[in-house]
Chain A
Amino acid sequence: MKIVALGCDKSGYPALLKWGEKNASPFEEVKLFSLPCLGLLTEEAIFRTLENSDALLLAGCPLDSCHNQNGSRGAYLKVKKVNALLQEAAIPKKVAVAFVTADKIGEIEKVSQELFWGEKNDNS
């Protein structure tokens, strides 16, 4: 499974780097990028990223302490919408978002595991 991981400058990206360092990723390949804030994401951007990858993992500040107040929330809403669209369209790809702080990466591990095993769970 090849995924793209995207984090915000403030917390997501540092956390993703830590996660990479721990080598805990279950994925075949992780492409890593940073953004000033997850608020920059659009649904189109998510779809276009998925054209070249199997899943997209987003990491941003926790919902109630987002540096830009609504940046993470915006991303959360978009992820929800995109996932619903993907499911409706029966496209076996997925987006997940983890809300983390720079030094707490447990959430990324959890979300990435879900992302990785998700399909199996769905079938059972």
Chain B
Amino acid sequence: MIIAERKPIKEIFQFLLPGEKVLVLGCGTCVTVCMAGGEKEARELASLFRLKGWKSWDFTVERQCEAEFNLKAKEEIAKVDTVVSLACGVGVQTLADCFPEKKIFPGLNTTFMGMPVEQGLWEERCWGCGNCILHLFDYVCPVTRCAKSLLNGPCGGSKDGKCEVTPDRDCAWQLIYDRLRKKNKLETLFSIQPPRDWSTSRYGGQRKMVREDVRL
């Protein structure tokens, strides 16, 4: 799931002109689950705008990353000057394509793909590197969870099971080691991972997928 967080209020305010009418457009899927841009947050932000003196209200669509859903907000968007979109970056771009003449502001910072570890705590789990190798590391992704993306880890900085880069994160290699040891499969770590082809990741430029079998 995509995790995002709201931009600082000041940044959003700077984008809005005095006296404008503002629509806060929530997205009802990923960012609702991570409590950043669902209906609740959209209502909250709209009421804050009203408090600050803007004419503002809210609307939420199922998924802003699909044009069909965005068209449901057509009437609402027609009434305003500016839309503050509370979707991830994908959603904002789709929205902008649907309403090219409108001023649209991304209200969220899209942060990562991850999961809720517990109520109110989310952690990154996948980078979308395009070539999954989780099975080799007992399902702890070293690409994402190791700060240096080491495939032949650990580095020398692992201390107390914590990462030296951000000491409150677990060292991915400690986790891998612990889990493999529990399963008595430590020998898998003896095989050295060859250099990886990172072109399937972000370094190969924008990624695109064509599926001839589902294209009509």
Contact = CB atoms under 8 A, between A and B. Distances in A.
Interface in A24-68: 42-44, 47-48, 50-51
B48 A47 contact: yes
A44 B9 contact: no
A89 B44 contact: no
A18 interface: no
A93 interface: yes
A82 B47 CA distance: 12
Given A51-B50, A91-B51, A93-B51, A42 B8 contact: no
Contacts of A93: 51
A85 interface: yes
Contacts of A88: 8-10
Contacts of A44: 40, 43-44, 47
B13 interface: yes
B48 A85 contact: yes
Contacts of B47: 43-44, 47-48, 51
| Size category, B interface | 10 to 19
Interface of B is mostly: helix
B169 interface: no
Q: How large is the interface on A (under 10, 10 to 19, 20 to 34, 35 or more residues)?
A: 10 to 19
B9 A42 contact: no
Contacts of A47: 44, 47-48, 50-51
Contacts of A50: 51
B50 A85 contact: no
B159 interface: no
A47 B44 CA distance: 8
Interface in B25-43: 40, 43
Interface of A: 42-44, 47-48, 50-51, 85, 88-89, 91, 93
Given A42-B43, A50-B51, 10 more contacts: A42-B44, A43-B47, A47-B44, A47-B47, A48-B47, A51-B47, A85-B9, A89-B10, A89-B48, A91-B48
